[in-house]
A and B are shown apart, each in its own frame.
Chain A
Amino acid sequence: MNPMASRRDFLKQGSIGGLALASMLAREPLLGSGAPSSDLHHPPRAKRVIQLFMAGAASHLDMFDFKPELVKRHGEKSDFGEHVEAFQNGLGPWMKSPFDFKRHGACGKLMSEIVEPLGEVVDDISFIHNVVGKSGVHSQATYLQATGFQFPGFPGAGSWVSYGLGSENEDLPSFVVLPDHRGFASNGPKNWGSAFLPTHTQGTTIFPQRANPIEDLHPQADYVTDESHGEGIDLVNRLNRMHQRSRPMDPRLDSRIRSYELAAKLQLSATRALDLSDEPAYVHKMYGLENAGKKYPKNINPEEETEYFGRKCLIARRLIERGVRFVQIWSGNDNSFPRRNWDSHEDMTRDHPSLSLGMARGTAALIKDLKQRGLLEDTIIHWTTEFGRMPSSQKGKGRDHNPFVFTNWFAGGGFKGGRTHGESDQWGYKPLDRKNPTLVYDTYATMLHQLGLDHERLTVRHNSIDRRLTDVHGHVIKEIIS
């Protein structure tokens, strides 16, 4: 059989999933119609992404975007100078942040005490304070930030990156999602579905604390030894090969046989990637895992949140070291009680500090750790959330949704450090320059640009439309890349 024909058919029939083969994909024109002759559109600055998604809407005003005007006007009747369509009537008096702000790093960025650990790495971060959303509704806004569209049915950003770049490894999925261990955010797995992209580009969820961190990864119990399990796979493939001899023209059988070999590899690699016992004690400490296994109080607390988030950050590092392209870490689930997300309508001082300190410690450790391993320069870290929170108070101590402005930031992967791009207005209510806000299309255009992909050319035709991660919009934010 002609090996080229077979390989072509194989890719046409549907490439081997989960673990797309880097060598194959890199050589195949997968970049939409009229694919360029080279693998990428231009030389890349980065090879992979770790995205941190704060579900429920983290408050820019209480973390990264200090507003002296709110300190001055604290308690005064809020006046936005226009009618505001508030989500839940959260238009009480102006409210200053209940947290202290201090300058950090050589850049002197003002950041609040609940993100203090990030102070150590602030000179590696580019902030964008004028991001605007389209909807103040969690599900739509989460879709928008996760997929570029505010309705279901579109691939997650990690799927696009996997599609565009292929996988760097044979043993692990190219797009891994580490959900909040308490559950998913709004829209659940739809935020990382492959939609109309090939199934192998979908995010694979890993719950590290479960016996089966990937569903059905291992048999339900130890009824087979590793050895006889391996023999089982061999037998399946021997029988498949016997069958294949009677139909030499069918490339799908090759793929099926390969999928069993890859499944066996995945069982080993995933187990190894999640086994933190070979990390030295100082690394555990750096990520805040020194209390691992401790009994925590019932109420939300920073130590517990640190362990949860830190563990995901450390696993993310281990995954990208093994060639995973895109790791998405979620903090906060959707609307559970007691609240375990960033949706602080009632009281900014109840959930934000614990979630934020946990996030900041793990994230700072991740940035430092990547840097010391030389990985930060080609790994993009992207911090996002579905929208921000209002400068006015709600129910006295809380803040309502603010889709009109919020913060994103990038680190590593050729992004400049210690930068702030795009400001919000004096209240942190809307962009200072309302005509030139940053949209999700711009953040993703910039991310793809750093990965060597032109966001206008990374297209796939679906129902006659050339779909993109950035819809029909998006500009690369030149100011924050070097």
Chain B
Amino acid sequence: MFLRLLILSLGLFSYGLLRAGDLSFTQDIRPLLSDACFHCHGPDSKAREGKLRLDDRASAIKSGILSNGEMIVRLLSKDPEERMPPPNSKRVLRSQDRAKLVQWLKAGAEWPEDDRHWAFVPPVKPAAPKVEDKKWARGAIDRFILARLEEEGLKPSPEADKHTLLRRVTFDLTGIPPSPEEIDDFLADQSEDAYEKVVDRLLSSPHYGEQVASYWLDAARYADTDGYQNDRIRYMWVWRDWVIRALNDNMPFDRFILEQMAGDLLADRNFMTQVASGYNRNHRINSEGGSIPDEWIVEYVADRVETLGTTFLGLTMNCARCHDHKYDAVSQEDFYSLFAFFNGIDEAGLGPNNGNSPPFIPVPKSWPELKPAENKFVVPAKMQIKVVQTSVPRPQSGGANTVMVMHELPKPRPTYVLDRGLYDRPDKARKLQPAVPEVIGGWKKEWPVNRIGLAKWLTDPAHPLTARVTVNRIWQRLFGLGLVKTSENFGVQGEHPSHPKLLDWLATEFIRGGWDLKATYKMLVTSATYRQSSVGHSDSDPDNRLLSRGPRRRLPAYAIRDSALVSSGLLVPEIGGPSVRPYMPPRIWRSISNNSYKQDKGDKLYRRSLYTYWRRTIPPPTMLTFNAAEREVCIVRKDQTITPLQALTLMNNVTFVESARHLAERVMTQEDLTSEDERITYAFKAILSRPPSSRELALLKEDFLHHEEIFSKNPQAVGQLLKVGEKPNDSKLPSAVLAAYALVASTILNLDEAISLN
């Protein structure tokens, strides 16, 4: 006992620095309990030790350990038998966090009655805060940001220069750089609303839909193949084009969800809404002989639940597939109740081993410009299983003129809780009907108990998550980090928002404005916060969580390639259509079951990266080198890395060398460019969206003259360089000069600025 007291008092000494009353239960304490204790004392009833629950207010208080000193003793004990978390549990509680818990316990272990996790409490529109600096803020967003900066004694940064701003907003809204002409126009426009005009122009560009779609495709795990073993071909590009069109038409986001969730069930369903329902067919499908069909149907349905969880709820539903969630109050029963919404599809466990797996429907030849008579709901052919190779049950296959959709069986499959998530371990005593997790709640009786109801629930104004999760992802896209940094996880284990009130303001405005994506983008990119210069001026906020400066980000993988194609003039800006096969490493597909990659010719080599054929087992290597999402499962956030392979790609990859060659041709053939300086300046502007400084220009010109001299003596090297890539240069141009400009262009394409947004 004496020993224990001694340790206690020693312990107390070290938290002298912490002030009492600084700790909030939901923000400071529960995350620690969740991390260190919930694993054995949390929602998972099967894993619970000593009948103690620390995730539930009533049972925690009732246990007495919060008030009788037991928990303090357990936290501070050096006895391995007594100490919590147990030293052999491999759960680590840092000493400062341990101190926080003890401080909280000593201060009376205050646990508010309404202890709902913040993300499960529906957002209420907060008033924009008062700020001291009355000039800086342009709107409510800025006032939330500024108020916090002022609290921390920080100041926002001045507005970025016009070049930087135009580059930033053009990439963010269209995924491609501004042209040198667009730069000149913007600089010349001295009117008050010059920037707003640019934003409106970009939002009405068809490239807006492509840009926003590229993120949606990552979340919706869209790809051109099935993803397992032989990774057979499927045809879903019609769905992809539906997404681009819906975004360009600015379809309200609640409708966007409804059509994708339930486009096959709606009263006003038609061919277009049916195509939209293909969203839930983008998961991988297995065709390998010997696989067990029932196991795979479970896999597909679970994938739909997990995708819904990450994309709309910001919850890691997959945790609850095998057991009650360890941290969030999502039970295994909740998981399988959501599962039941998707478990009535007339689908096969094994794919057809090439082509679309039923249900699918034929696409009229006139797509995408359907005649009114063609825009009708089509009943997909019933699934027909034929046993091949003596034992492999395969459904019929849909060819290149079809698209996969959702379609219900006359009677859904029964849904049970699956023990450990295993397809062959249904708990027959626990048969489930479609339902939504109790912890989120908010289901209205008048909604049909099907995917229509599910979509209505997701987009109900009282839903605590969908709007928050959606605006947070938009924020992440524009600012590099979400207000909730863990954009895939709003649960207890996720990160608390940096600006909770701003998040709620944005979410409620999004709903109030009719789920208007373009208006939301406009509001964000015209804010003073977004328009700040990204040059850092203070050490105190290295991650820029407080937004005292503008965002600085690396371009996404697709934009890096597209940018080279645009600046060289190679890009073929056609929207939509079947996926294309640009350059790939030699024999890239031979490796998978004798497949051969038939590289396209001509225009198809220069389409935007969004249209590049995405083979799941062997995705385009250049895209992965720049951290593109793999499109296996739903991805809403990817960490970025800097690697030497990226340097090698930019230096040597055929697309980038060919782009350099054609940018060289562009500057040599443009009539208004007459001197070397002007040509180099144009190339520089085409890639970096700003003119070079005199020092930069001098260095690049020196580089040009150096290469020109070498190439003039070495026509063979010139010939080799000009042969990289399939589109020839104008043969009338002096080839040594062309080659020298090409290497200068390649140098510029390799600059950090070329793949960054400042």
Binding site for B on A (CB under 8 A): 1-2, 5, 9, 12-19, 33-34, 87-89, 136-140, 151-153, 179, 183-184, 186-190, 193, 198-200, 204, 210, 212, 214-225, 228, 231-233, 235-236, 238-240, 242-243, 246-250, 252-253, 255-260, 262-263, 265-267, 333-337, 401, 456-457, 463-465
Are A220 and B699 interface neighbours, CB within 8 A?
A: no
A198-B639 CB under 8 A given contacts A89-B390, A222-B717: yes
Q: Are B721 and A228 in contact, with the CB atoms below 8 A?
A: no
How distant is the Cα of A335 from the Cα of B594 in the complex, in angstroms? 8
Instruction: Name B's A-contacting residues (CB within 8 A).
Output: 90-94, 227-231, 284, 286, 288-291, 299, 310, 316, 318-319, 327, 389-391, 488-489, 491, 493-494, 534-537, 539, 542-543, 552, 554, 585-587, 590-594, 616-618, 621, 627, 630, 632-633, 639-649, 651-654, 657, 693, 695-696, 699-700, 703, 706-707, 710, 717-718, 720-721, 723-724, 739, 743, 746-747, 750-753, 758
A87 lies within 8 A of B290 (CB): yes
Check A215/B288 contact, CB under 8 A, given A15-B641, A223-B720.
no
**Distance of A246 Cα from B695 Cα, bound (Å):** 14
Distance between B291 CB and nearest chain A CB, rounded to angstroms: 5
Residue in B closest to A152 when the chains form the complex, CB atoms:
B632
Q: Shortest CB–CB separation between residue B716 and chain A, in angstroms?
A: 8
Q: How far is the CA of A450 from the CA of B153 in the complex (A)?
A: 52
Smallest Cβ-Cβ distance to B654: which chain A residue: A220
* CA of A479 to CA of B710, assembled, Å: 66
Asked if A252 and B642 sit within 8 Å, CB to CB, the answer is: yes
**Given A215-B621, A216-B648, A259-B647, A34 contacting B641 (CB threshold 8 A):** no
Q: Is A232 touching B391 in the complex (CB atoms < 8 A)? A: no
In the bound complex, residues from chain B placing their C-beta under 8 Å from that of A188 are: 231, 591-592, 617-618
Decide: B536 and A249 in contact? CB cutoff 8 A: yes
B494 A464 Cβ-Cβ under 8 A = yes
Please state if A336 and B594 are interface contacts (CB–CB under 8 Å).
yes
Inter-subunit contact B630/A200 (CB<8 Å)? no
For A258, list chain B residues within 8 Å (CB).
642
> Are B642 and A13 interface neighbours, CB within 8 A?
yes
For A250, list chain B residues within 8 Å (CB). 536, 552
Which of B289, B645, B723, B752 is A256 in contact with, Cβ under 8 Å?
Answer: B752
Closest CB-CB distance, A360 to chain B, in whole Å?
A: 25
15 of the cross-chain contacts (CB-CB < 8 Å) are A2-B539, A14-B639, A34-B91, A138-B229, A140-B288, A152-B632, A179-B591, A188-B592, A190-B632, A216-B645, A216-B649, A252-B552, A266-B648, A334-B593, A463-B488
Q: Which of A5, A12, A33, A256 has the most CB of B within 10 A?
A: A256
Q: How far is the CB of B564 from chain A (nearest CB, A)?
A: 14
Q: How far is the CA of A54 from the CA of B720 in the complex (A)?
A: 40
Nearest chain B CB to A32's CB is how many angstroms away? 9
Does the CB pair A219–B652 fall under 8 Å? yes
Q: Closest residue of chain B to A229, judged by CB?
A: B651
Residues of A within 8 A of B657 (CB): 219-220
> How distant is the Cα of A1 from the Cα of B542 in the complex, in angstroms?
12
The docked-state distance in angstroms from the alpha carbon of A151 to that of B643 is 27
Does the CB pair B718–A256 fall under 8 Å? no
The contact of A210 among B493, B586, B617, B695, by CB within 8 Å, is B586
Contacts of B534 in A (CB 8 A): 247
Q: How far is the CA of A33 from the CA of B91 in the complex (A)?
A: 9
Whole-angstrom distance from the CB of A327 to the nearest CB of chain B?
18
- Complex alpha-carbon distance, A197 and B290, angstroms: 32
Contact A259 B646 (CB under 8 A): yes
Interfacial chain A residues near B389, Cβ < 8 Å: 88
Q: Among A225, A240, A267, A463, which residue has the most Cβ atoms of chain B within 10 A?
A: A463
CB pair B751 A259 closer than 8 Å = no
**Nearest chain B residue, comparing its CB with the CB of A201:** B641
Residues in B neighbouring A136, C-beta threshold 8 A: 290
Q: Which residues of B are found within 8 Å of A337, using beta-carbon distances? A: 594
> Contacts of B739 on A, CB cut-off 8 Å?
223
Distance in angstroms between the alpha carbons of A240 and B751 in the assembled complex: 6
